[in-house]
Each structure stands twice: as C-alpha cells, then as structure tokens.
Amino acid sequence: MGASSNGGYCASNYASYCQNRRFSKEVLDNVHGTIYLDPLALKFVDTEQFQRLRDLKQLGLTNTVYPGAVHSRFEHSLGVYHLAGEVAYRLRAQQDPDFPVEDFDIKTVKLAGLLHDIGHGPFSHTFERQFLPRFLSGAPWSHEDMSISMIDYIVDKHHIDIEPECLKKAKDMIVASTEHGSRNSPTEKQFLYDIVANGRNGVDVDKFDYLVRDSRACGVGCGFMFPRLMGSMRVLGDEICYRAKDYLTVYKLFSTRAEMHRTVYTHAKVKGIELMAVDALSKANESLGIADAVQNPGEFWKLDDTILKRIEVDERPELKEARDLVLRIRRRDIYQFCNEFAVPKEKLDHFNDVTPQDIICSQKSSDVTLKEEDIAVSTVQIDLTRGSSNPLER
C-alpha cells in the first residue's frame, strides 16, 4: 500500500491508475481541483452535444435571485465524473485484494457520471416538470430517459468506438434510481449502480457534487462534508455502507439538501420567474416547436437556456406575447408572490393540491377581484428524499 504517494490506491492497481492519467486531459475545477478526463471521456466531451451543457445553468433561473448561481451542467457533470471514479477506486483499494472491481467497472461508472445529465432541457427541472406536461400526453418524459437517447445519438453521430457492454452498463447506471431502472436492476455488483444515482438510499456522488457546488455558488453555507463519507465507505452484502459513527454526516447530506430546497431552489421569487418562463415558452411553443424537439435527439440538443434570448429578439408578431413576458422578466416586473400555506405534517396524507379555483372561491370582498387566470399555484414538497420516512433507516 502507498497511502500518501498514490492517494490510497493499492499498489497492484497503481500502475494502471497512473497510465490512465498519463493519457488524460487536466481540467481545473473550483470544487474538486484537478480533474483528469480520460481518452474515452474526451470522445464524448469534445462533441457539440456535450458542450451544449455549458449553456444549461445547473440551477436554471435561480441566478435571477442569487447572481452567483451561473454554474453550468457542464462543470457539474465533470464533477460527478470525477467523484464517481474516486469512489470506485477507493472501494477497490479498501476491500480485499480479490474484490471484484475491475478497470472496466471503473471506466463504466465514470462514464455514467459524465453523461448522467446530458438529457436535461432548458432550465432543467422547470422544463421537465412544468413546461412539458402542458404539451405531452401519454407516458411521462424524463431527463434520464432522454440521456439514454442522447448517448446513443452521440455514439452514432460521432462514430465513437466503445465496447457495447460498457455503453449498456453506463446507461443502466444512469437510470438505476428511476422506476424504469429499478425493474432492470443487475443481479451482480449492484453497488456499482448506486454510485452515481442511488435508488436504494439516496446517498450518491450526484448529490455530493451539486450540494457543495450549489451552496458555494449561491453564497450559502454547506455543512455537509462528502470526503468524510468517501473515506469510510465499504461494500457489505453488495451495498455501499458507512460507519455507524458517520450517521450524523449522512443525515447532514439530506438535511442540507432540504435546506437548499427551502431557501434556494424553491425561493418565492425564483418560482415566480420560473412560472413566467414556462408561460413564455408555452406561448412560443407553436412557432418554435419546442415540445416537439424532445422526441428527437437530433433536435433536442439544440435547445438550451438561450431559448429566452431567441424569443426576446425574434420580432415575429406571433411571438409578441412570449416576447413581452421575457421583457417583463428582464425588467423585474415579476409575478407577485401572494401567500403560502404550510400543510401540517399530520394532514399530509389527506391533503389535496390547491387549485386556482379553490382560491377564487375563498377570496373575500375587496377592491381587487381575482380570476382563475390571474393565479398560479406552486405546490412544493420538501422532505429528506423518502417522504415521511427516515432515509437513514436505509
């Protein structure tokens, strides 16, 4: 063992580790320091489809309230790629010499981390959860499934030479936490599928990266320290486990996520701007064919956050309503936050979502009479990823 000279990697694997870095490209990241992109990763990174992630802000429209939140899905993807590799290397180094983590497994896990978000649309979850449901009927659309389609498109478009088994497993790892992925869970080495997107207990490197990166960009504190967990993880019974004394550190992961949702991701003004952007996209959809593009990877990759600028500068009369909404966002004439109601925990199971009609029916006499079209309701659930259950029981 060479604990200091090789970062904790066992000597038998250190030669291949150094060989990989020899042919890697160095990228300096403001969260993780130097990230080494191996030759396979570069085949994907150096495509216009992956470079598109530079024009997708990690936090969508949050920068309209938190000016520093302009970091992109590009840097987040590199961060998850880096952490996925670090976890895989550490697991191999910290287990028995015959532990079944091979170079092939590490390469596959890293690729899954790199490409896990390549299927995101403009403004990320706002696009997926608020805009698309207005226009898509039938099976729900997800960015994870779109990531799979985009990966296949990139491989075909750029003739990327990659082992079919590596490609298949990387795609399976991306959707592992979804309902679709859970139905096709592997029968061996399942712990590898929990590194990037952990559907079993929610502890994964995707959260490790975005919680630290988002907190830093928004200027809010982050009490969660992922290096502590990475230093103690072990595989027991085909599942990644942690020391009992790290219980509070794991809890801090979930509580930090909840706090970020409460103070940043669902900030009232951010929600108002998101609703305006969704309305603008909806009014421009027929002219620009935005929703149609999600069925075709060759068109989908052309969509990014610059869609609002396209609307703003397009002088066609049919885009006037959409253009006016974008101008309102620019001029800070934003939908006004009216009120909020926190549902008591004991009533959650019997609570029905509030509708604009409910609010209209309950308004009292005043100088202002609201109509249904004047009201937008945003229902937000903030928990520790497992609803009313404690994720630490997993």
pLDDT confidence of residue 342: 86
Q: pLDDT (tens digit, 9 = 90+) per residue, 124-180?
A: 899 999 999 999 987 788 999 999 999 999 999 999 999 999 999 999 999 998 765
Of 14-23, 187-196, 337-346, give the lowest mean pLDDT range: 14-23
| Most confident by average pLDDT, 51-60, 97-106, 219-228, 241-250 | 51-60
Domain range 11-265, CATH class: mainly alpha
Q: Locate 87 and state its tokens.
A: 């976890």
Structure tokens at 372: 């249904």
365's tokens: 């006499």
CB contact at 8 A, 48 and 301: yes
State whether the Cα torsion 187-166-88-223 is positive or negative: negative
Q: Beta 239-241 vs 234-236: how paired, if at all?
A: antiparallel
Tens-place pLDDT, residues 38-52 = 999 999 999 999 999
As a residue count, the chain comes to 394
Q: Is the pLDDT of residue 315 over 90?
A: yes
Mean local confidence (pLDDT), 317-336: 96
Instruction: State pLDDT tens for residues 101-124.
Output: 899 999 999 999 999 999 999 998
Mind listing the pLDDT tens digit for each residue in 191-235?
999 999 998 888 999 999 999 999 999 999 888 889 989 988 999
Looking at per-residue pLDDT, the higher value among 132 and 6 belongs to 132
Res 349: pLDDT: 81
Q: What percent of the chain has pLDDT over 90?
A: 64
Q: How far lies 190's CA from each of 182, 229, 318, in Å? A: 11, 19, 52
Mean pLDDT value of segment 9-24: 59
pLDDT per position as a tens digit, 271-311: 999 999 999 999 999 999 999 999 999 999 999 999 999 99
Is 71 an annotated catalytic residue?
Answer: no
At 6, the pLDDT band (50, 70, 90 cuts) reads: very low
Q: Given a cut of 90, is residue 2 above it in pLDDT?
A: no
Partnered with residue 241 across adjacent β-strands are: 234
pTM: 0.89
**Listed residue (264, 275, 274) closest to 356, CA to CA:** 275
Residue 27 is predicted with a pLDDT of 96
Catalytic residue among 143, 158, 159, 261: 143
Predicted confidence (pLDDT) at residue 12 exceeds the cutoff of 70:
no
Please report the pLDDT score of residue 108 as a whole number.
97
For the chain, give the mean pLDDT: 89
Every domain range in the chain assigned CATH 1.10.3210.10: 11-265
